[in-house]
Structure 1
Amino acid sequence: MTDINDTRSNNLFRLATDNSFNQIIFTDADGKILYANTSSKKVSGYNPTELIGHTPKIWGGLMNKSFYENLWKTIKMEKKTFRSEVVNRNKTGDKYFASIIIIPITEKNEIQGYIGVEQDITDIRELDKKKTEFLSIASHQLRTPLGSMRWNLEMLLEEEFGKLPADAKTVLKQIYESNLRMINLVNDYLSVSRIEQGRVFDEPKSTDISKLIKQVAIEIETEAQKKSVVGEMRFDKTVIPKITIDPKRLHEVLHNLLTNAIKYNRKNGKIIIKVERKKNFIKISITDNGIGIPMKEKKKIFSKYFRAVNAQLNTNEGTGLGLFIVKSYVEAWGGKVGFESQVKKGTTFYFTLPLIPHHGNLSKNL
């Protein structure tokens, strides 16, 4: 009876794995393949029998060294599930994009083997690429007329063409504010499309970070006053050195973090901007006492287009792109970005910049 049950279990197992659209493999503790389902042929181009005894390097191994170091650290040392997107090469030599999950199999806390699941996401990536190209073209086309509207509205508000009735001036201010929001939206879309297309090359200059922070704070002062939000700057007593970095991109990082601190703050709230000099880097932190970030949504906060539920309820404004841009730039410079948050108490976003930042393509790490 036990043999019959085992046979049925094995048949059900094979039916389940072979009917999956994804490639599924089992390996031993050294990564040698013991089993591969029939979908392996569709995904990697190899028949299951061709994979037995080999490691996944037969169709993989194209990512950089640090990627695989992190992979093995996660599944072998930490004994945790690893998820990522990779570029692999199929049997015919064509590269494709794949989403992978690797799960360690343990017994008495000892690794016995691994389960690997791989999905071909090339079509999804191609669709995403076309969407990015469309957004880039559309944003470029919108940028010029929006900029022209801004300058004309500013001239009208400054009454360069004559005095305006109070009611007309109020309406023009509302149109002007909507125009600025549209310009910020277009700039965010342009930044993201450049990052995704690998076209963000920085223009490093000697930059006074303290001075740049003060400049951005002045620019957003009007937004802060609308919510009666006050700011406080705490600069390290140690001299903050100038660093060679792209001031335009750093301005974008600071602007995104500070506008978020205002947008998601409470009425009569407070923002603290702190700059510290460490041994080999500078740390900048921005603290608010606003709505905070729910625990279950913290993992997604730097994802593209993501906005926490309480953020959506707080305001309709926002694209969910700002923090994605911040993370992309900071990590490309060789820095780190993170946050601490409690719901209804506030959030601190912080990032570090090495005293000698990396230069070149700010989207190469994606």
Structure 2
Amino acid sequence: MTVLSRQALFSRTWFQVCALALAYLLAGRLSLLLAIPPGYAMAVYPPAGIALGIIIVAGYRLLPGVAAGAFLVNMLISWESAAGISWASTLLAALLGGGAALQALAGSYLIRRFAGSNLSLDKDTSIFRFFLHGGVLACLISASVGVLSLYKLHFIPGDHVINNWLTWWTGDTLGVLTITPIVMVLFAQPREIWNSRRWNVMVPLAICLAVVISVFTYIRHREEQKQFLEFRLEVERISQDLQNKLNNHTDAVNNIERFFASSKSVNRSDFSTFVQHTIDSNKAITSLIWAPKLRHADKTAFEASVLQEGYVSFKVSEKDASGKLIPVKARDDYYPITYIAPFRTGTLAFGFDMGSSDIRRIAIEEARDSGNLTATDPLVLVTDSGEQHSVLLYAPIYAPGKPLDSTEKRREAFQGVAMSVLRMGEVIEDALSKQDQKNILIKFYDLSYPGNKGIFYDAIKIIDPGHFFQSTINFGGRQYALLAQPSSAYWNSHVSWITWFTMIGGLLFTSLLGIYLLVVTAHTFNVEILVTQRTSQLNDSEERLRAILANAAEGIITMNPSGFIESANQSAEILFDYPRGALFGRNILSLFPDPASEAFLQGYMQDQLELHEKQARQEVVGKKRLDQEIPVELAIARVELGSQTLLVLILHDMSERKRVEKLKSEFVAAVSHELRTPLTSIRGSLGLLVGGIGGAIPAKAKNLLEMANDNAERLTLLINDLLDFEKLEYGGMQFNLQETSLPALVKKAIDANKGYAQKYSITLLFDAEHSVDAVVNVDQQRFIQVLSNLVSNAVKFSKKNGQVEVYLSRSNGWARVSVVDHGIGISRDFQGSIFQKFTQEDAKAARKYAGTGLGLSLTKTMMEKMGGRIDFNSIEGEGSTFYIELPVLS
């Protein structure tokens, strides 16, 4: 099974590698359609984006597909070029394939290293890093490897390196920016986010790319036509200049013919003088010649006449197979070069019979028979300066006054030829300016002469079939071809910037659009996920809330401001004895028919209550379905939900509480009448016995009686505190608040506790005469009870022979009474619970200081009932200060 799995994986990998190589090849071939002439410079290279996207998605195992695809693309370019495939082009293709694979590898690594392994690109920073590392930075690799390889293998010159590098880098970068997002949409993980981008990213990008490419194609075609028209006009100008130059040479030979026709005799000196200006002004003319027609019978006399002119070695000659001059062979006619300018002693051409050469003889006879100038086939002439590709131009010279209206008559009147030796290469160079030679590559050749010998001028190394122009030039009865194509300098000086700007601008816009769409879709996807999570959480919360409300022990009802119930939980339905859902839509007042409850609810529904009233609870009377009344504690709150207002009612069944209160009330009455009355009697009897009313009592018995009396007092205090606490808690204690002068009331309380203080050898200090005056609203009896509790506690917890100070002060509308002792103080741990019921610091203290643990709790409750407050400051081991505060009336 493992072997089969590995084989299947291997087969799948190689299938994907081949598929990637084919996709790269097709994309690269299509990219050539976007090339900007004259070469293969591209503003965008889509295969770079395909390679990076696939390697990111599928992994490094497909890198051979990138290398193979890039290799095939470059081999295809070499095969389609005029240079063809060579070892250099093959090596170049291999290097470029390696550079493309290395770029894809580096881009994928950088993205995973710096942008993170999460390829969802759901954050702005990850999108920015993706394109920075995968595009801008990674694309430096292929451009550098490619241009360096082109330079080292001599495909581009050194001055083209920078331009080619920038073009290469720009094309790859824009390819990544525009194509990689599309690849990611099609294949990247996680599919949830990339599938959501299919319509929001891929379609707009594809449309934008199609528009940019269409506009680019149109503008490029228009610019190509414009450039080719400009180039054609330049070549036509050069062609016309060349034609004019050749016509001038034709005129030079015709002038010689006219000179002979108009003169009775022309000697050597006359000929030299006549043609000297023509030679001086036309560097392309090697020499101008007069060659008479010489019959065989006149040959000897002709040679003798020339010898008499002083040319002692003159002979009518011809060339043998090796090119050496030899005496001419016997023929009917000869065409010896007689006059030649410029004439140089020892010139090989002097006396040469042009009729001995087939090429020359044919041209002479053609000129003779037609009466027109005739050019020879291209010739390679050996001169002092070496071999030169030249053309001999012949003009027939006829005897003056002879008829020339037929071939036979022209042959009879024919006396010889005037000839010009013309270097055609120099004619071309003379017709081209330096700028023309730099910008335009020229090839000039004889159309009727095959082979390289027919080429006079050739600056074209490789023909570009898409960018050349050909014109035909007539000269000497022959046709010559002028083939021209732009040079690299021409393209550099005629760059179609509008094409570049259109393509790069459009692609930059497309790239920015792609980045923007990725950012927007990332935000949208994150918002959708957040909404889904929040919706799920909200649903869960609503379910939990429903469950909580449905199972809440308290009844909960919501209603609108008109008083109609919108929801009620199960506890509310049970409270009022209604079946499930029966409370919905009922008016709340039907459940609380008594006037007090109705007034309370109407105040909330009409929103006429003050804030403290809105937050209060109230006991009301509810009515069950069968008209049975039920005591209910009602809490109500107004809730604003957007534009909707709801009133939320929380209902607590008070039936059990009322029953318990009744039991407690009965218990308090029982304690008051059945326990406190006999205890008072017992305490009185014990007091009389201790006071000696029953006579002398033994010491041991007296101690027991005093102990019983003390415990009876403690029990009385405990019962009184319990009764007071119950009265406070259940509203049985009444408070009679009156305006009272606080110093007098404090002095009264101090006087009441002096005997208790003397018992513990404690001095009570209060300066009533010098205290501040303050009028407060209190119940005098309860205030004295509160202050007595604080003073007695201070006395109990003071050290023997100590003192307790009482101070009266006022500040910010409040009067403060402070009771200060210097006793044991209160520990930090106990300070937080000192006002709770039945609390003392420890059991030992309870036994030592004989307290119930209810005094401070009662004191705090009574102060709050009178509108005051109580607090303290204490340092353990140094003493305590308890103070009560009341609002000052005056």
Q: TM-score, normalised by structure 1?
A: 0.66
Q: Distance in 2 between the 1:231 and 1:296 partners?
A: 28
Asked if residue 307 in structure 1 is aligned to residue 833 in structure 2, the reply is no
Deviates more, 1:119-128 or 1:41-50: 41-50
Asked if residue 185 in structure 1 is aligned to residue 721 in structure 2, the reply is no
Contact 1:210–1:240, Cα closer than 8 Å, also in 2? no
In the alignment, which residue of structure 2 is the partner of 1:96?
Answer: 631
* Alpha-carbon distance, 1:40 to partner: 1.9
Contact 2:771–2:807, Cα closer than 8 Å, also in 1? no
CA 1:313 to 1:105, structure 2 compared with 1: closer, same or farther past 3 Å? farther
Q: Which structure 2 residues correspond to residues 52-201 of structure 1 after superposition, within 5 A?
A: 62=600, 69-70=611-612, 72=614, 86-92=618-624, 94=629, 96-98=631-633, 117-195=650-728, 196=730, 198=732, 200=734
Q: Secondary structure at the match of 1:198?
A: coil
Contact 1:232–1:273, Cα closer than 8 Å, also in 2? yes
**Which structure 1 segments of 5+ residues have no match?**
75-83, 357-366
Contact 1:87–1:95, Cα closer than 8 Å, also in 2? no
In the alignment, which residue of structure 2 is the partner of 1:359?
Answer: none
Q: Distance in 2 between the 1:56 and 1:236 partners?
A: 60
* Alpha-carbon distance, 1:178 to partner: 0.6
In the alignment, which residue of structure 1 is the partner of 2:788?
Answer: 255
* Alpha-carbon distance, 1:296 to partner: 4.6
Residue number among 3, 11, 17 corresponding to 2:549 in the alignment: 17
Q: Which structure 2 residues correspond to residues 341-356 of structure 1 after superposition, within 5 A?
A: 341-342=873-874, 344=876, 346-352=880-886
Contact 2:839–2:854, Cα closer than 8 Å, also in 1? no
Q: Distance in 1 between the 2:817 and 2:667 partners?
A: 35
Asked if residue 275 in structure 1 is aligned to residue 808 in structure 2, the reply is yes
Q: Which amino acid aligns with 1:297?
A: S
Residue number among 218, 223, 242 corresponding to 2:754 in the alignment: 218
Q: Secondary structure at the match of 1:310?
A: coil
Q: Distance in 1 between the 2:612 and 2:634 partners?
A: 16
In the alignment, which residue of structure 2 is the partner of 1:364?
Answer: none
Q: Which structure 2 residues correspond to residues 289-308 of structure 1 after superposition, within 5 A?
A: 290-291=825-826, 294=830, 296-297=832-833, 301=835, 306-308=837-839
Q: Which amino acid aligns with 2:572?
A: S
Q: Distance in 2 between the 1:121 and 1:138 partners?
A: 25
Q: Secondary structure at the match of 1:237?
A: coil
Structure exhibiting the larger radius of gyration computed from Cα positions: 2
CA 1:278 to 1:136, structure 2 compared with 1: closer, same or farther past 3 Å? farther
Q: Which structure 2 residues correspond to residues 227-242 of structure 1 after superposition, within 5 A?
A: 231-233=764-766, 235=768, 237-238=770-771, 240=773
Contact 2:557–2:565, Cα closer than 8 Å, also in 1? yes
Q: Distance in 2 between the 1:280 and 1:8 partners?
A: 53
Report Cα offsets for 1:157-205 as digits up to 9, x if no partner: 2323333333332222211111111111222233344443536364979
Residue number among 713, 731, 745 corresponding to 1:209 in the alignment: 745
Contact 2:747–2:766, Cα closer than 8 Å, also in 1? no
Q: Percent identity?
A: 22
Contact 1:249–1:329, Cα closer than 8 Å, also in 2? yes
Q: Distance in 1 between the 2:873 and 2:576 partners?
A: 42
Q: Which amino acid aligns with 2:672?
A: S
Q: Distance in 1 between the 2:820 and 2:536 partners?
A: 64
* Alpha-carbon distance, 1:97 to partner: 4.1
Contact 1:99–1:120, Cα closer than 8 Å, also in 2? no
Q: Which amino acid aligns with 2:547?
A: L
Contact 2:840–2:846, Cα closer than 8 Å, also in 1? no
Report Cα offsets for 1:207-229 as digits up to 9, x if no partner: 8414312223214225644xxx6
Contact 2:724–2:733, Cα closer than 8 Å, also in 1? no
Q: Which amino acid aligns with 1:96?
A: P
Contact 1:28–1:114, Cα closer than 8 Å, also in 2? yes
Q: Secondary structure at the match of 1:348?
A: strand
In the alignment, which residue of structure 2 is the partner of 1:39?
Answer: 571
CA 1:62 to 1:154, structure 2 compared with 1: closer, same or farther past 3 Å? same
Contact 1:103–1:116, Cα closer than 8 Å, also in 2? no
Q: Secondary structure at the match of 1:87?
A: strand
Q: Distance in 2 between the 1:49 and 1:325 partners?
A: 47
Contact 1:236–1:277, Cα closer than 8 Å, also in 2? no
CA 1:9 to 1:189, structure 2 compared with 1: closer, same or farther past 3 Å? closer
Residue number among 848, 851, 859 corresponding to 1:326 in the alignment: 859
Q: Which amino acid aligns with 1:42?
A: I
CA 1:296 to 1:54, structure 2 compared with 1: closer, same or farther past 3 Å? farther
In the alignment, which residue of structure 1 is the partner of 2:380?
Answer: none
CA-based RMSD of the aligned residues comes to 4.9
Q: Distance in 1 between the 2:786 and 2:687 partners?
A: 26
Q: Which amino acid aligns with 2:752?
A: V
CA 1:49 to 1:251, structure 2 compared with 1: closer, same or farther past 3 Å? same
Contact 2:817–2:884, Cα closer than 8 Å, also in 1? yes
Q: Secondary structure at the match of 2:766?
A: strand
Contact 1:283–1:353, Cα closer than 8 Å, also in 2? no
Contact 2:565–2:588, Cα closer than 8 Å, also in 1? yes
Q: Distance in 1 between the 2:636 and 2:758 partners?
A: 47
**Which structure 2 segments of 5+ residues have no match?**
1-531
Q: TM-score, normalised by structure 2?
A: 0.31
In the alignment, which residue of structure 2 is the partner of 1:77?
Answer: none
Q: Which amino acid aligns with 1:157?
A: V
Q: Secondary structure at the match of 2:692?
A: coil
CA 1:124 to 1:341, structure 2 compared with 1: closer, same or farther past 3 Å? farther
In the alignment, which residue of structure 2 is the partner of 1:362?
Answer: none
In the alignment, which residue of structure 1 is the partner of 2:256?
Answer: none
